[in-house]
Amino acid sequence: MKMNRREALKFGALSVAAAATMATVTGCNEGAKPASASKAGKKVCKHKVVIIGGGFGGLTVAKELKKKDASFDVLVIEKNETFMSCPFSNTYLGKLEGVNLGTLVHDYAQPVEANGYGLLHAEVTAIDRATKQIHTTKGIVEYEILVMSPGIGYDYKGQFPTWDDEKINHISRIAPGALIPGKEHVILERQLVDMEDGNVVITIPAGKFRCPPAPFERATMIASYMKKEGIPGKVIMLNATNSVSKGAAFKETWKDLYPDIVEHIDFATIQDVDSASKTVTYHLKDDMEDKGYKVKTLKYSVLNLIPNNISNPVIEMSGVETTTDSFKKVVMNGCSFQTKTDKDVYAVGDVVSHAVPPSGQTANWTGKQCALEIANRLHKKAFELPVKTSTIKAGNVCYSMVGENPEEAIMVIHDFSFSQEKNMIVSAATVPVSPSGKYRSSATAKATRDWYGGIMRDLFA
Ligand SMILES: Cc1cc2nc3c(=O)[nH]c(=O)nc-3n(C[C@H](O)[C@H](O)[C@H](O)COP(=O)(O)OP(=O)(O)OC[C@H]3O[C@@H](n4cnc5c(N)ncnc54)[C@H](O)[C@@H]3O)c2cc1C
C-alpha cells in the first residue's frame, strides 16, 4: 500500500524517535576520585570542575577547558540521556525539506570521546555549597569549582495560581511549551502531523523568556507547513505583551506570505485552558467589564502554551543571589562569569544576568569566556576581563527560518561589550534588511543551515 505524504511524515518521525532513544550513556567514573561515603551510602566522586547541564553552555565549558589543558579534571552532570537541540527545532515542526528528528538529536558519547571530559547521566536534586556537594539521583558529587548551565524552568504556578499540580501536569502534557529540550517538541510535532484542520494557538509569555524570536519563528514555520499541506485553519498567537522580537521582519513576512493564516494578538492574557472542549480563555488589556475583564474564548486544534519562564530550579538549589524580577537570573560578579555570591561557583547560558540575549549562540560564547576565566585560575595565572577595551562584533547572530520554496530566513545581530559603567556585559541589536529590500532572504536561509551545522560540530566534535 502506498503512503501519502502526510502518512509518510507520521511514520518517518516515529522511526527516528525510536532510534534516538538508543544513545550511549557514560558514567561518573572518568577521572573520578573516590571520596568518603555519603550518609545515604551512595557512591561519592570528586572532581576539580563540575558542570551542571549538558546543553549549549555546559558542553562548551567542558570542551573548552579540556582544549586549554587536557589534564583538567572535568565532569558534566546531565539528566537527559540524549541531546536534543531547541535551535532549528521550529523547522522540524514546520516540516522543512530534509529536516527530521535526527537533525536535532545527538549522542553524548561523541563529545565525551572526542574531548575527554566525564559525563554523569543523573538529575541534580540539591546543592550544598558549604560542603561543596551536589546531590544527584545517582549519588553525591563533590566539586572544587562548580559551573551551572541548567537552562530554564516553567513558572506555571506563578502564572496560573488556581491550577493544582494535577492540572499543571495535564496541561504541560497536552499543550507542551516546547522551550525545554526533550519530549515536548516531539509531542507538539505529533499533534501537528495529526491535525486535519482548525487553529494552532501559541501563547507568548510575559517577562523574559528563552530565545525571544522562537515563538514567532514557530508560528511562521507552522504556517508554512499548513500552507504547503493545504491544511485549513490559522496560527493564532496570544501575546501577553506587544513585544515581537525581530518584529518588523516577522510582520513583513506574515503580511507577504501568510496573510490569511497568521494572526497575532497583542496584550492577550491567558486565563484558563479547558482540554475537554479544546478551548483557551483570555482577556485583552483594555477590554474591561464592570465586574472584571471581558473573557474571550478561542477554540484550538493544537495548543502550544508557552508558560512564563524562570531560571531552572538548580539555581534556587544553589542559593546564589538572583535578580528580583520573575525570571530570577544569577547575579554575576561584574563582567565575569563567576557568581557574585560564591567565588567557586560560575554560571553560563540562559541563567546569567548579563544584558545579552538568552540564546544557544550566547551560551556557547559565555561558555568560552567562562572556561577562559577558570583555566587561568587553575593555572594560577592573573586574568583581567577586557572591560572598556573590548566590543565583540556579532557576539550573537540569531536566525529564524520563515519560508520554504524559496527557503528564506531573517536574522538579528547582537554586538557584545564589557561595560565598566554598567558593571556587566551588554549588547546592542540590529535586524538587517537584505539587498532585495525585504528582511528575509535565501542567503540568510543558507546561513541559518550553516550556523546550525557549525554549532553542532562545535559542541559534539
Ligand atoms: C524553539 C527554540 C528555538 C531556538 N532557536 C535558537 C537559535 O536559532 N539560535 C540560538 O542561538 N538559540 C536558539 N534557542 C535558544 C537556545 O536553545 C538556548 O538559549 C540555549 O539552549 C541555552 O543554553 P543553556 O546551556 O543555558 O541551556 P540548555 O541548552 O537548555 O541546557 C541545559 C541542560 O541542563 C540540563 N538540566 C536541567 N536541569 C538539570 C538537573 N536538575 N540535573 C541535571 N541536568 C539538568 C538539561 O537537561 C539541559 O540539557 C532556541 C530555543 C528554542 C526553545
- pLDDT exceeds 70 at position 388: no
Q: Do 24 and 142 have their domain in common?
A: yes
Q: Grade residue 206 by pLDDT with cuts at 50, 70 and 90.
A: very high
Ligand 1 atom closest to the Cα of residue 179 is 53
Q: Is residue 460 assigned to a domain? A: no
Domain that holds residue 135: 5-153+310-384
For the segment 298-312, the average pLDDT, to the nearest whole number, is: 98
- Whether 78 is in the pocket of ligand 1, judged by its Cβ within 6 Å, is yes
In a domain, 397, yes or no: yes
- How far does the centroid of ligand 1 lie from the alpha carbon of residue 244, in Å? 21
Judge whether 438 lies within some domain: yes
Q: Ligand 1 centre and the CA of 351: distance in Å?
A: 10
Q: CA 41 → CA 35, 44, 123, distances in Å?
A: 12, 9, 18
Average pLDDT score over residue span 183-193: 97
Same domain flag for 216 and 182: yes
Nearest CA to ligand 1 atom 53: 179
163 with 286, same domain? yes
Confirm whether 457 is domain-assigned.
no
How far away, in angstroms, is 152 Cα from ligand 1 center?
7
Residue 92 shares a structural domain with residue 214: no
Residues in the chain, total: 461
The answer, yes or no, to whether residue 36 has pLDDT greater than 50, is: no
Identify whether the C-beta of residue 391 lies closer than 8 Å to the C-beta of residue 416. Answer: yes
Query: Is the domain of 162 the same as that of 304?
Result: yes
Largest CA distance in the chain: 70
What would the mean pLDDT of 191-205 be, rounded to a whole number? 97
Q: Are residues 73 and 137 in the same domain?
A: yes
Say if residue 9's pLDDT is above 80.
Answer: no
Assess whether the previous peptide bond of 406 is cis (omega < 30° from 0).
yes
Task: State whether the beta carbon of 359 lies less than 6 angstroms from ligand 1.
Answer: yes
The residue among 308, 327, 343 that closes a domain is 308
> Is 365 found in the same domain as 292?
no
Instruction: Work out the pLDDT band at 27, boundaries 50, 70, 90.
Output: low
Q: What is the pLDDT of residue 22?
A: 33
Residues 250, 268: Cα–Cα separation, whole Å: 19
Strands 74-78 and 83-84: unpaired
Cα-based torsion angle of the residue sequence 28, 31, 37, 40 in order, rounded to the nearest 10 degrees: -10
Q: Report the chain's mean pLDDT, rounded to a whole number.
A: 91
CATH of the domain at 105: 3.50.50.60
* CA 349 to ligand 1 centroid distance, Å: 8
- In angstroms, the CA 311 to CA 65 distance is 25
Examine the domain organization and report whether 144 and 213 are in the same domain: no
Q: How many Cβ atoms sit within 10 Å of the Cβ of residue 112?
A: 20
Name residues whose C-beta falls within 8 Å of residue 14's C-beta, 6 or more positions apart in sequence: none
User: pTM of the full predicted structure?
Assistant: 0.93
Segment 95-117 shows an average pLDDT of 97
**In this structure, is residue 461 part of a structural domain?**
no
Counted domains in the chain: 3
d(CA 275, CA 272): 10
Among 350, 364, 366, 427, residue to substitute to test ligand 1 (most atoms within 8 Å of Cβ)? 350
**Which of 369, 384, 399 is where one domain is finished?**
384
pLDDT beyond 50 at 342: yes
- The whole-number average pLDDT for the span 5-20 is 42
Which H/E stretch holds residue 120? strand 118-121
Residue 52 pLDDT more than 50?
yes
Same domain, 204 and 277: yes
Element (H, E) at 409: strand 408-419
pLDDT in tens, 58-94: 999 999 999 999 999 999 999 999 999 999 999 999 9
Task: Verify cis geometry, omega within 30 degrees of 0, for the bond prior to 313.
Answer: no
Atom number in ligand 1 closest to CA 397: 11
Q: How confident is the model at residue 39 (pLDDT cuts 50, 70, 90)?
A: very low
Quote the CA–CA distance of 335 and 352 in Å, as a whole number.
11
Mean predicted confidence (pLDDT) in 211-235:
98
Q: How many CB atoms lie within 10 A of CB 173?
A: 12
**Residue 31 in domain:** yes
- Both 159 and 293 in one domain: the answer is yes
Q: Indicate if 107 and 25 belong to the same structural domain.
A: yes
Ligand 1 pocket: which of 211, 309, 459 to mutate (most atoms within 8 A of CB): 211
State the pLDDT confidence band at 28, using cuts at 50, 70 and 90.
low
Q: Measure the CA–CA gap between 24 and 272, rounded to whole angstroms.
A: 41
The residue out of 251, 274, 308 marking a domain boundary is 308
What's the whole-number mean pLDDT along residues 195-221?
97
C-alpha cell at 90: 521550529
Mind listing the pLDDT tens digit for each residue in 149-171?
999 999 999 999 999 999 999 99
122 and 260 in a common domain: no
Q: What is the Cα–Cα distance from 409 to 400, expressed in whole angstroms?
A: 5
Distance (angstroms) between ligand 1 centre and the Cα of 360 equals 7
Does any domain span residue 456?
A: no
Question: 343-374 pLDDT, tens per residue?
Answer: 999 999 999 999 999 999 999 999 999 999 99
- At 47, give phi and psi (nearest 5°): -135, 155
Identify the residue whose C-alpha is closest to ligand 1 atom 25.
57
C-beta of 120 in contact with ligand 1 (< 6 A): no
Confidence of residue 289 (pLDDT cuts 50, 70, 90): low
Sign of the Cα torsion 305, 306, 308, 311 reads: positive
Evaluate whether residue 287 is within a structural domain: yes
| Interstrand relation of 235-239 and 262-265 (parallel, antiparallel or unpaired) | parallel
Q: What is the pLDDT of residue 41?
A: 47
- pLDDT of 426-460, one tens digit each? 999 999 999 999 999 999 999 999 999 999 999 99
Tell whether ligand 1 has an atom less than 6 A from the beta carbon of residue 312. Answer: yes
Tell me whether residue 349 is exposed, middle or buried, using C-beta atoms within 10 angstroms of its C-beta: 0 to 12, 13 to 18, 19 or more. Answer: buried
pLDDT grade, residue 385 (50/70/90)?
confident
- Ligand 1 centre from 256 Cα, in Å? 32
- 117-144 pLDDT, tens digit each: 999 999 999 999 999 999 999 999 999 9
The residues pairing with 11 across neighbouring beta strands, listed in sequence order, are none
Return the ligand 1 atom nearest residue 358 CA: 19
Residue 20 in this model has a pLDDT that exceeds 80: no
d(CA 141, CA 47): 8
Q: Give tens-digit pLDDT for 230-255.
A: 999 999 999 999 999 999 999 999 99
